[in-house]
Structure 1
């Protein structure tokens, strides 16, 4: 392990009790977001490696708890997907609102310009009326003075050009105002659609979380403890399988300056509660944490995990370095910040806090680099 990695993890490890730094295959973190295990359930090798947590007495069978675990995972996953939809709609409505404000400013300025041009046109018409209603060209033809004729010819030409210019400017200003109004109407329609999308996503999030909480509330205390053990064991098993591929031996890139700053920010948020749609400073969702971490490092990135996956440069898992973002699940519904030594910091789900976990404890879709 390089000294750079040790420095990056030092602060994180000091915050988390009973967590072993991943340095070799076969060692695993507690499951993402699970409470710190007590002496009887500390992080160990996975069941596949020959060890398991002692069972706790309960009226529910292991099969029943496994079914509950699967159902909870599905509910919280659907809530995470809906949270991404909500966050995307939130970002879109912010952008559309800002565009409407800018268009409104253009409309006000354009209307003022149009009023000024109309005043100038009116002044020209009034001046012509005061001279008997004859245009400059007609008065010029009636002149008997050659010098006045030649001098007047230049003025007439200038006046015609000015009149054409003013008419053209009036036309363009009117066209601009019409376009601004159409654009504002379009953005307003998008804004309304975005609000409906946000409302639908919020409804789905709240429904899924309420169903999960109701399901958990039906468990006895001992059943909840066994369920937490089950979650930890699943995460440990996945992490150990990932480490057993030897991948950690290939991951040795040092963090960039910005990457170090992002890791430092994420480390400072450990222990803060998960809240869907939150970007801090007191609560976070998964992509709220990663986007704010990189914002603190001076790099703006997309708000949602799906857009982070779509828009940021991809790197191979074996080439990732501290500060990179690991995207999880086939639908890119979760994201975490890689901190080195096979570990991540992430905001797992409702009911959990920002925590340190194994990078392989969930199915990895890929890795992106904000400062590539």
Structure 2
């Protein structure tokens, strides 16, 4: 792993949890999966302190554990990518505030701070916090509804629980059908017992589903890209395509199942704000289909036609566009032309660049050398067959 990543991970752990946790976390970062006795040997920290640090890291899902071959000792592994997610917490909170309001913002903030909570606990904590902030309109039923909305929208998921108590190393599991089932929360019970100690959902804990936030971020990038490239109607069409895609396809699949065009057309027709899109619907579909991003491709003609959405391909093309724009800004249009030519051909002889890019030989060699020097291009030597 890179030195830069290590520095960021170290900084986040130090700022968030203190030097002891940072020391244990960085040992796992540098040396990979290890059991407790190895961490003790190389960090020279007392066992109780190491256990406490590991407990914190496990609680915040920054370290995972699995039994060794004998099933009696746990091996611990740091998850650097999850450590980096702490830097995005303000963005997650802001997203929820815009989408669900202040109550949902406080609920999410409490769960992010504690890593996981039961529904009753987070509702009571949010209620107390909003009361302290002089919010007179806050009620327990309203907070419960917001909490349920976050679960239904998949921003919160159920935390895995211990499958069996008879194992030396716990095996944490959660069934797919349990991930988004709303818990039983009795408002009368919460009102009568503000501590929430014996609530019906006392063993059902909830944590943040970061993938759901990243899905929203990804979709926003796509919608904004087509809005900027064409107009707002194109962005709205992409948004509707994505929404219908999720009905029949997993969110992070590279290629979606076919989406019937009639479904999209019906949705557009029902929205009064999309009159222009409704009028020129076929033209907008054709424009997006022919766009260089390759986001959608026709997959069938039945029932008005259907399209598949190529999410991975679209983002690859976006990345290429960014690189090409960087070349254009750093050098000039001729260098960008050479870069696009090499990208198109994958491998091309240096003598052919000047001919096919239609650039004078001297300038082509100079620009090619500059692109090589800046690592935009690479040389691969190929031995030519000897003649004679």
Same fold (TM over 0.5): no
Higher relative contact order (CA 8 A, sep 6+): 1
What is the TM-score when the length of structure 2 is the normalising length? 0.19
What is the TM-score when the length of structure 1 is the normalising length? 0.19
Computing the radius of gyration from Cα coordinates, the structure with the larger value is 1
